[in-house]
Amino acid sequence: MINGLRPGRRAVLTLVGATLARPALAQMGAAWKPPRPVRLVVGFPPGGFTDIFARVLAPLLQVQLDQSVVVENRSGAAGIIGAEAVARAVPDGTTLLLGHSTANAIAANLAQRLSYDPRTAFAPITLVAAQPHVLLVNAAAPYTTVAELLAAARKAPGRLTYASSGVASVQHVAGEMLRAATGIDAVHVPYRGTGPALADLAGGQVDFVIDGLAGAAPLLHAGRIRALAVSTAERVPRLPDVPTLNEAGAPGFEIRSWFGLFAPSGLPDPAVESLYAAASAALSRPEMHRVLNDASAEPGGMPPAAFAEFVRNEIARYREVAARMRIAVE
């Protein structure tokens, strides 16, 4: 649950806010257009939901902004490298970040050496989506339930491994939350993104991962990995027979990824308003509905001020998590 709202209620509220605000913002921002082609920076390699989502969003933004929008993957450090590049960019609206809960909230509390302050380095445009995570194992693994996985971990402490898209990523935090909730001892194996982590899970190189449903969906459909539980407070409609981690033996467990559109701090208000109007229009398109539905992701659309408050609240929430866990970016 994000900001105290259940998923269905929150999606309705954000979409209503976007719909009501869109006509006025479109008029206010109509005079502003990007002066040259726009780079939409993604802090992860191809294959994960951030990249998938960006490649659907970019052409829709291009139509709305009447300017080319090109996705640029700058992977590494759980999305922080891409965020650093945008934080340093000129705030003229031609460099945008498809930000992520890791680089834009978790890093504020867990990164030891961070060249930007997520609270001040960006101009928040809008929350675009939030997706559930799933506890995943290799399809050939001997455990078919969370209880069996936990039993295997307790029988051989330190033997099982779990993957993530990088140190202090949301997947890493999820793995540590599972350890804290269940008392198991498992070894963290960081990767440079969701794609490589899931590939090694399917190949049997790691034992489990708690990752987003969107990136995992192709491997789930192909029967190469298995879903044991979802990370949200309620079951996911797309996986109705898969229990929540809370139901399956990890009391109080809840985590998800969110994605938002950011520009460098200092972007003038007319540009922020125009970008928000363009993103809101893009989120209403059928193409976007399909990619969100495929991932069981909740659509965003909240206005810039509300999104800025949302980010501040997420930073505070992960500050509490950091106080209970010893995780740091090297």
pLDDT digits (tens, 9 = 90+) for 84-125: 999 999 999 999 999 999 999 998 888 777 899 999 999 999
Residue 241: both structure tokens together: 């027979």
Q: Please check the confidence at residue 11 and state whether its pLDDT lies above 50.
A: no
Cα–Cα distance between 48 and 53 in angstroms, integer? Answer: 9
DSSP structure string for 245-296: TTTTT-TT---EEEEEEEEETT--HHHHHHHHHHHHHHHTSHHHHHHHHHTT
Please name which of 81, 120, 79, 122 lies closest in space to residue 103, comparing C-alpha atoms. 79
Cα–Cα distance between 10 and 101 in angstroms, integer? Answer: 17
Q: Please check the confidence at residue 12 and state whether its pLDDT lies above 60.
A: no
The class of domain 7-131+257-324 in CATH terms is alpha beta
Q: Please check the confidence at residue 10 and state whether its pLDDT lies above 50.
A: no
Q: Please check the confidence at residue 26 and state whether its pLDDT lies above 90.
A: no
Cα–Cα distance between 176 and 186 in angstroms, integer? Answer: 9
Q: Please check the confidence at residue 190 and state whether its pLDDT lies above 60.
A: yes
Backbone angles phi, psi at 147, to 5 degrees: -60, -40
What residue has token string 């893009």? Answer: 282
pLDDT digits (tens, 9 = 90+) for 43-83: 988 877 889 899 999 999 999 999 999 999 998 888 999 99
Is the four-CA dihedral 73, 78, 80, 86 of positive or negative sign? Answer: positive
Identify the helix (H) or strand (E) that includes residue 118: none
Instruction: Quote the percentage of the chain above a pLDDT of 70.
Output: 88
Q: Please check the confidence at residue 144 and state whether its pLDDT lies above 50.
A: yes
Cα–Cα distance between 233 and 244 in angstroms, integer? Answer: 7
256 touches 130 (CB < 8 A):
yes
The C-alpha torsion from 91 through 97 and 101 to 106, rounded to 10°, is -50
The residue type found at 133 is: H
Identify the helix (H) or strand (E) that includes residue 7: helix 7-29
Please name which of 164, 162, 145 lies closest in space to residue 206, comparing C-alpha atoms. 162
Cα–Cα distance between 172 and 167 in angstroms, integer? Answer: 6
Taking every pair of Cα atoms in the chain, the longest distance, rounded to a whole number of angstroms, is 65
Classify domain 132-230 at the CATH topology level.
D-Maltodextrin-Binding Protein; domain 2 (3.40.190)
Determine which of 10-24, 166-180, 224-238 has the lowest per-residue pLDDT on average. 10-24
Cα–Cα distance between 219 and 8 in angstroms, integer? Answer: 27
Residue 115: both structure tokens together: 């060249």
Cα–Cα distance between 194 and 170 in angstroms, integer? Answer: 11
Average pLDDT of 149-160? 96
Cα–Cα distance between 21 and 233 in angstroms, integer? Answer: 30
CA angle 33, 38, 42 (to 5 degrees): 140
pLDDT at res. 20? 38
Q: Please check the confidence at residue 271 and state whether its pLDDT lies above 50.
A: yes
Mean model confidence pLDDT for the chain? 88
Cα–Cα distance between 99 and 124 in angstroms, integer? Answer: 9
Instruction: Please report, for the chain, the start and end positions of each structural domain, with discontinuous segments joined by +.
Output: 7-131+257-324, 132-230
